[in-house]
Structure 1
Amino acid sequence: MKANLPELRSARLILRSPIREDVDVRLALGRHKEIVEAYGGTFDPEVPFTREHAEAAIRLIEEQEYAWIIDAGRFIGHVRFHSMDRHDKRAALAIGIDDPTYLGRGYGTEAIRLALAYAFSTGLHRVSLRVLASNTRAIACYRKCGFLEEGRERESAFINGRWADDIIMGMLDREFCPS
């Protein structure tokens, strides 16, 4: 069941529920090699990005209990919490910026900080994430948000015919600093 999530706002963006227009924007963005591989996928330029793919991407956000669209005037990506454990007050974070023109400009950091402020205000004690060791841009973003590296899972992802390591990062509620 989807939580009744509030809309969250910062100086440049809004975290909100999906709307119908997001499918069209997601479709127009298509797929980009750098982004697909950062997600741990294999990019095939021969495979078209279809309306069905765009609908599935937006539906994933609609179906998640704690997920928002990242809106910087329009859809640019999503941020969500998954693997929620209410007893242990922990969750995992996932974020995706699907518009390459917004990469490296602080939008991911801004979205993560908004989502973390909300999560910790609702009683979460711990948020963790996993990121490909090769995704230096995302690792820098997570460190900027206050995540600490907790370990490495060796050869945990098979990408483009090669094994890749995942970095495990985490943050406790008392370590969170919203700015």
Structure 2
Amino acid sequence: MFTTSRLQLRAYCSTDLDNLILLYNDPLVAIHITEDFVVPRNVNNFGKILEMVENSLMFCMVEERVGGAFVGWSAILPMSDAKNRNAAFGLAFLPHFWHKGYGMEVGTFLVDYAFRCLAMHRVSLSVFEGNDRAIALYKRLGFVEEGRLRKSVWIDGGWKDNIMMAILEDEWVVRSVHREREES
């Protein structure tokens, strides 16, 4: 288990499935994390999610350190063969934990971990157009927009772009040195 100043990140266990079902059944969350239809899901609809958990380099359940409340999940997922050292980053939190800085806290920890401990060369993600809060977070973490799949996702009655973003190892090093100087 890992900890940040306010959160703990631990491995998924089978008793966490109810919390994942709760998260994926929240329409405010689901609209931003799935290309599938936003419909009520039960345990039988979680094959893809559990496959992601099993195939992740690091899949973490995120909880508050004080009280242990379930916040959401975050993950580092392999993108291709190990030779290229590419990974994807993702996170999803319950809405009542938004606007607390938890995304920055978890994102900083996991991106640092991906480069420092997992020896990644590149960490990427995709985010749907209109998820402005997440896009702003990813930019603060150092991710740069690399391209778009134009009008590839149907959300709330309209087509949205799927925005591809990434941070490279050398960009992360510069940010880390700058952050360490600020903290000194």
How would you bin the TM-score normalised by the shorter chain?
Answer: 0.7 to 0.9
Q: 1:11 to 1:56 in 2, by over 3 A?
A: farther
2:151 equivalent to 1:155: yes
The whole-number CA distance in structure 1 between the counterparts of 2:163 and 2:3 is: 29
The whole-number CA distance in structure 2 between the counterparts of 1:140 and 1:111 is: 15
The number of residues matched between the two structures is 168
Instruction: State the partner residue of 2:71.
Output: 76
> How far apart are residue 172 of structure 1 and its match?
0.8
CA contact (8 A) 2:24 2:30 kept: no
The root-mean-square deviation of aligned C-alpha atoms, in Å, is 2.4
Amino acid corresponding to residue 89 of structure 1 in structure 2: R
Moved beyond 4 Å, runs of 4+: 27-30, 55-58
- Find 1:165's aligned residue among 156, 161, 168: 161
> How far apart are residue 136 of structure 1 and its match?
0.4
Q: Which runs of 5+ in 1 are unaligned?
A: 1-6
CA contact (8 A) 2:122 2:166 kept: yes
The whole-number CA distance in structure 2 between the counterparts of 1:112 and 1:30 is: 20
The whole-number CA distance in structure 2 between the counterparts of 1:174 and 1:132 is: 26
Q: 1:29 to 1:154 in 2, by over 3 A?
A: closer
Q: 1:134 to 1:29 in 2, by over 3 A?
A: closer
* TM value normalised by structure 2: 0.78
**Is the deviation greater in 35-44 or in 127-136?**
35-44
CA contact (8 A) 2:146 2:164 kept: yes
The whole-number CA distance in structure 2 between the counterparts of 1:107 and 1:96 is: 11
The whole-number CA distance in structure 2 between the counterparts of 1:29 and 1:130 is: 19
- Find 1:33's aligned residue among 21, 24, 27: 27
Instruction: State the partner residue of 2:89.
Output: 93
> How far apart are residue 25 of structure 1 and its match?
3.5
Instruction: State the partner residue of 1:3.
Output: none
Local SS of the residue matching 1:130? strand
- Find 1:115's aligned residue among 105, 110, 115: 110
The whole-number CA distance in structure 2 between the counterparts of 1:28 and 1:142 is: 24
* TM value normalised by structure 1: 0.80
Amino acid corresponding to residue 154 of structure 1 in structure 2: R
Q: Whose relative contact order is higher, 1 or 2, with alpha carbons under 8 Å and at least 6 apart?
A: 1
> How far apart are residue 56 of structure 1 and its match?
5.3
**Is the deviation greater in 124-133 or in 77-86?**
77-86
CA contact (8 A) 2:23 2:29 kept: no
The whole-number CA distance in structure 1 between the counterparts of 2:137 and 2:36 is: 20
Instruction: State the partner residue of 2:134.
Output: 138
